[in-house]
Amino acid sequence: MMNIRLVPNLTFDSSTDHFVLILYVLSGWGTDEKVIISILGHRDSTQRKLIMLAYEELYQENLIDRLKSELSGDFEEAAIRWMLDPVDRDAVMANVAVKNFVTPDIRVILEIACVRSPSELLAVKQAYHSLYKRSLEEDVAMHTTGDFHKLLVALVSTYRYDGDEIDSSLALSEAKILHNAIKEKAFGHEEIIRILSTRSKAQVNATFNCYKDEYGASITKGLMGDPKDDFLAALRVVVQCIRSPHKYFAKVLNDAVNKQGADEDALTRVIVTHAEKDLNNIIELYFQRNSISLNHAVANHSSGDHKAFLLTLLGAEDL
């Protein structure tokens, strides 16, 4: 049972059970993570926004700040990511990633730049301005060098056309340009970067398809080379994010659970950012690839409140 200390004279009904959380967090009885998980984990983004507003109005305090002081570890991070508006969440994740520029974090920037729609990317950049009084572009530019710099600055700066139209002869000629650069191992070639960063996703995908038809192997194969080459790995992520994002995320999740100690950051990121969108597609591909359900993998590899929270977002809290 919850130990709720009610605020006097406050009326609420069952449809406003968010007050339960509000009151609970405020009660001096110690935080009950299970209650927080069961309430927040079952609220969509509009409802969560209402909870935040109601909380702020009642207590002149930001609920996220409160959660930061009440929770800890991987669960704290997941709960806070979940409470943020999706666009703000991306801006926050991008900021953490640029400030801490090492290989795994580059994926965060690439996912935001290549998986989100062009207008979503624009919204994330606007949120970044409001939150940090700087642009994502300048932060990425300041924290990168060499080929990474060229690629990442181009990808975060772009505003691609978002239509479905495809120019087949252009796809053919650009497949050839890509193939020539790859053959010469000129992976940081400005033409590779121009094509990947400026063409519409439908057009780039058509180019990848032509590449495979013309040269007998996928562009991803062409970008294999040295497995320790981080720049090649980044190019493969770009290709996968544009071509088949669900497959890409299924792989990120699989890598995350198979890592020693599990990569909780990656698990949180993929599950939280897709829970209200296309997580079911990712779950399905995950099962196809691994013959084990994502629910079971998470149940097996995570622990404590973080595990309970992720399973709730997966709709598998009974595991």
Ligand X SMILES: *[C@@H]1O[C@H](CO)[C@@H](O)[C@H](O)[C@H]1NC(C)=O
Least distance to ligand X from the beta carbon of 206, Å? Answer: 7
Tell me the two tokens of residue 80.
């806070």
Min separation Cβ 148 and ligand X, Å: 24
Task: Give me the residue label for tokens 């409470």.
Answer: 83
Q: Is 261 annotated as a binding residue?
A: yes
Known binding residue 73? Answer is no
| Nearest distance, CB of residue 180 and ligand X, angstroms | 22
Whichever of 48 and 243 has its CB closer to ligand X, that residue is 243
Q: Given the complex with ligand X, which of 23 and 297 has the nearer CB atom?
A: 297
Sites of contact with ligand X (CB under 6 A): 201-202, 205, 209, 243, 292, 296-297, 300
Separate counts of helices (H) and strands (E) for the chain: 20, 0
Cβ-based nearer residue to ligand X, 4 or 299: 299
Residue 100 vs 300, nearer CB to ligand X: 300
Asked if residue 299 belongs to a known ligand binding site, the reply is: yes
Question: What is the C-alpha separation between 81 and 226, in angstroms, rounded?
Answer: 35
- Start-to-end CA distance of the chain, whole Å, equals 21
Judged by DSSP in three states, 50 sits in: helix
Taking CA atoms, 214 is separated from 15, 51, 169, 303, in Å, by 59, 54, 13, 48
Residue 262 is labelled as binding a ligand? no
- Beta carbon of residue 252, minimum distance to ligand X (angstroms, whole number): 17
Of 123 and 262, CB closest to ligand X = 262
Q: What is the DSSP letter of 8?
A: T
- The response to whether 225 counts as a known ligand-binding position is no
In angstroms, what is the minimal distance from the CB of 142 to ligand X? 31
CA distance 205 to 218: 11
Q: How far apart are CA 307 and CA 268, in angstroms?
A: 10
Q: Is the Cβ of residue 288 or residue 300 nearer to ligand X in the bound state?
A: 300
Q: Is 57 helix (H, G, I), strand (E, B) or coil?
A: helix
Q: Which amino acid is residue 166, in one-letter code?
A: I
- DSSP sequence for 193-235: HHHHHHS-HHHHHHHHHHHHHHHSS-HHHHT-S-TT-HHHHHH
> Would you list which residues are annotated within the binding site for Ca(2+)?
28, 30, 70, 259, 261, 299
> Would you list which residues are annotated within the binding site?
28, 30, 70, 259, 261, 299
